[in-house]
Amino acid sequence: MSDQGELFAEAPTFAARVLDTPVADEMSESFLAYSLSVITARAIPDVRDGLKPVQRRILYAMDDMGLRPDRPHRKCAGVVGDTMGKYHPHGDGAIYDALTRMGQDFSRVVTLIDPHGNFGSLDDPPAAYRYTECRLTPAAQDMLAELDENTVEFRPTFDGQRDEPVVLPGRLPNLLVNGTSGIAVGMATNMASHNLREVADLIELVMTQRRPKPTIEQIMAVIPGPDFPSGGIVVDDGLAEAYATGRGTFRIRATAEITRVTKNRQGIVVTELPYNVGPERVLTRAQDLIRDGKIAGIADVKNLSDRSSGLRLVFECKAGVNPKAVLTELYRQTPLEESFGINNVVLVNGVPTTMGVAQLAQHYIDHRLEVIVRRTEHRLARAQAKLHLLEGRLIALDAIDLVVSIIRSSQDTPEARDRLMAELSLSEIQASDILEMPLRRLTALARLELETEIAELREAIADFEVILNSDQRRRTLVLKELREMVDAYGRDRRTRIVSPDALSDVTATEAAVGDEPATDEPCVVALSSSGVIGVEPPGGPKAATFGRHDVLIDRVASSTRSTVWGITTQGRAVSATVAELDAVAGRSRGTAVGDAFGLERGEEVLRLVALPSALEGTAAPHGSETNSGEEAAGTPTLLMVSAQGQAKRITHVELVGTRPGQPAMKLKDGDSLVAAFEASDGTDVIMVSSDAQALRTSAGNISVQGRTAGGVAGMKLAKGATVVGAGPVGPHAVVLSVTDGQTAKATDAAEIPVKGRATGGVRLTRFRDEKRLDWAWVGPEDGRLVVVGQEDNPARPDPSPEPLTLEVTGRDLISPPTTRRWLGIGTGRW
């Protein structure tokens, strides 16, 4: 054999044994290990703190670096490097992406990172991490608080050099408030964000009502739907199922209003977009559709967003185009409407589990209860250890001469410690502490401080033992600390929840049929208490099945080519073309009053006003006024009463001559209209104040003024009182009054004497435990329906109004209790 052959023959083998393994088996085992790693250690959040491992490690690394809210910002590059080197051995891109998302106020309801620099937008990525800086927010501090009190378990990091928390104490219910999304192997999670105040109510409901457990109706009463940081509109077409099971879908719509963008053209103004949808994405898609001819009727598209006014996308419609039909097409073909799929997959003891919101709340409760137990045990042990030392010091002070003698006569420290333990019955810890105690602690003042501190420690120890022995006390602590979170980070809801029935979509075909009618036909415009305005034939709409509390609060005769006007709580005169209002047909009750009139947030329409087409041209020009009563003689007038007691009459002709959106009555700061109704010179009117005073006076005492006037003093009010209702006195009129104590009373209007204007009136009802009247109404009692609150949620209207069956009682009597809270009254249902 050649030398080369001998070399190969003597070469060592690379393995003692070679095992033949099928590739399919090896791949399946390796893939399973990889899948479990992605699911449990990367993509799915823990149900307790709602964080993925990378997010938890970022927050822990920043806390370890001292990047607290009261410290300066530090470079994100340093945070990314520290996190990657010590805790998270993965790519820097994934770490930086998770860091920036926790600091984006358009991605999180409560941010955990305080950004400094360009953290990106919905359309653009953040700047590189060498250009940006960050630090923790106070909310992140609350997530990390109590880590040093043995509240959670720790585990070694990937290299075994240090420890990291398995989960954070998480005082903030981060999972329910901020939501999350992630894609693992074979599964994904997608959780919506919610309003912190509503989440706190849900947690309190789940904690206090354990048997029987809350129903989905009770849950939806306190947390009606998601609340996204971008606002928008959630269409409730499956939220109950999603909240009950953890799986479901719903639609998110942009908030848009139809308004006049130029002198001769209407347009669509978008002020809020669906969650995670950027304005450039919407504009690009809309421009492509316009270019390809798939959306007609749009003349121009503009992005007028800025820092002061916020988001503002303007779609200018062509002349003669129905803007509602255009908006419907934009919802259908652009990201102005998106679907959101709820998939509440979380890790429970390391196992991916799908659960509803009540279960998520229960896991938060269980986690916080465990944190409180471990925290209290830690604090108790620490307090007992300190008390043990202080008791030893007190013994030493009582025998100070002996202590000094022992120390001076001992050869070394161990001997002194042993003698102190033997002669004073001290423990080794106490003896060592006495030997290390400075001489300045031997004064009389130090003894007083010791006794005070010992008393405080014993009181604290007793309280800790009560907490550990009382489940109710621990639950009270959970709710107390949660309410502190609400006070610190709670805000009003931004996202509106609407039902599919409330949508007023108009297709292009329907718009073509419903465009400007060829003839001017009579019709009736009706306004309901649920905020819907619709057009119906003079004989009334066809019978239908309703799912809303559609109690009519006003109804005016008009024609299909006329304009209908409304008086709002802000004293404004707003208008809408009757032809552009939706008809009352089928399940549709009409158009949302806010969309029809362009109302501001919180503004409501109190009264409708319409003139026949023949009289609309007689309206006073915008620049003129009719201030004299002679000009108003023989014409109908509208009487308006404000919360501060001001009153004013204005002619209908003067009213409809007001520029749309301008004041019909000039109100003072903080004032608002509470009533608007027709009243002639010979009509008596009654005004009711919150302190249960009722003034009856003649409408002739109230001047007829122009549109810019602020009215005259209608009712004299006591300090702190406001007008809560007013109305005309007709045949069989009664005064309904409802107190803050859920008591109500009906009083015959004839029992209220007539007095002069600007007087205080007479007492309408007596109070027992009540403090004020919340609501009042004046009018005939026949055929009235009352909108009442739901039994489990008095502030939410019940879908089924109740007939007015309250017995009329004498004036100045006590109000009898009612079964429900009253929210409004109307003439009947559609």
Residues with a known catalytic role: 131
Calpha distance 369→360 (Å, rounded):
14
Nearest to 372 by CA among 100, 149, 125: 149
Calpha distance 608→557 (Å, rounded):
10
Tokens of 41: 């250690």
Q: Which residues of 143-177 are buried (b: 16+ CB within 10 A; e: fewer)?
A: bbbbeebbbbeeeeeeeeeeebbebbbbbbbbbbb
Tokens of 114: 């305080």
Q: What is the secondary structure of 685-707 as a DSSP string? A: EEEEETTSEEEEEEGGGSPB--T
**Could you tell me the CA-to-CA distances from 760 to 645, 682, 721 in Å, in that order?**
10, 21, 11
Kind plus residue range of the DSSP H or E element containing 371: helix 357-398
The β-bridge relationship of strands 496-498 and 233-235 is parallel
Nearest to 59 by CA among 190, 169, 184: 169
Kind plus residue range of the DSSP H or E element containing 609: strand 605-610
The sign of the CA dihedral 223, 226, 229, 231 is negative
Which residues are registered as beta bridge partners of 756? none
Calpha distance 213→228 (Å, rounded):
27
Cβ atoms of residues 256 and 268 within 8 Å: yes
Distant-in-sequence, close-in-space partners of 387: CB < 8 Å, separation ≥ 6: 454, 457, 458, 461
Calpha distance 365→203 (Å, rounded):
7
Tokens of 736: 């309904």
Cβ atoms of residues 705 and 650 within 8 Å: yes
Classify the phi-psi angles of 732: left when phi > 0, otherwise alpha if psi is within -120 to 50, otherwise beta: left
The β-bridge relationship of strands 74-75 and 637-642 is unpaired
Calpha distance 771→752 (Å, rounded):
22
Residue located via tokens 């004073």: 424
| Size (the chain), residues | 830
